[in-house]
Amino acid sequence: MSAEHKFLAVYLGSKSGPKMAAWQALPEAERRAKEREGMAAWHGWVEKHKDVIVEMGGPLGKTRRIDASGIAEISNALTGFTVVRAASQEDAARLFENHPHFAIFPGEAIEVMPVLAIPQI
């Protein structure tokens, strides 16, 4: 059995993109029904993959950017995260195929990247 590695999955979505506009245009009762369907599917995804989820993560709120100029409120496409274990990045990516984030909810994509070891000096 190959060694498992940690991978960070970030959920991406736009507050002003076409998927969100279509979601917001749904009648309230239909949107609430889709929300219930999506949350049930998301919980099902978590249950199916609970053995490889290292950190459930969650939704992300407003972003502050800190740089040499100071601190500023910004907007970006990051909407949430999860950390999983897998033998390879390809295996980690496959965990998120047809994920409710974009299959039901108006999310646009999920990006998966390895969590690398901190270099020793």
Q: Are strands 109-114 and 5-12 parallel, antiparallel or unpaired?
A: antiparallel
| pLDDT, tens digit, 9 for 90 and up, residues 7-66 | 999 999 998 889 999 999 999 999 999 999 999 999 999 999 999 999 999 999 999 999
Beta bridge partners of 81: 10, 58
Within 10 Å of residue 78's Cβ, how many Cβ atoms?
Answer: 14
Whether 23 and 31 have beta carbons less than 8 Å apart is answered as yes
The structural domains of the chain, ordered by start, are 5-114 (3.30.70.1060)
Question: Model-level pTM?
Answer: 0.90
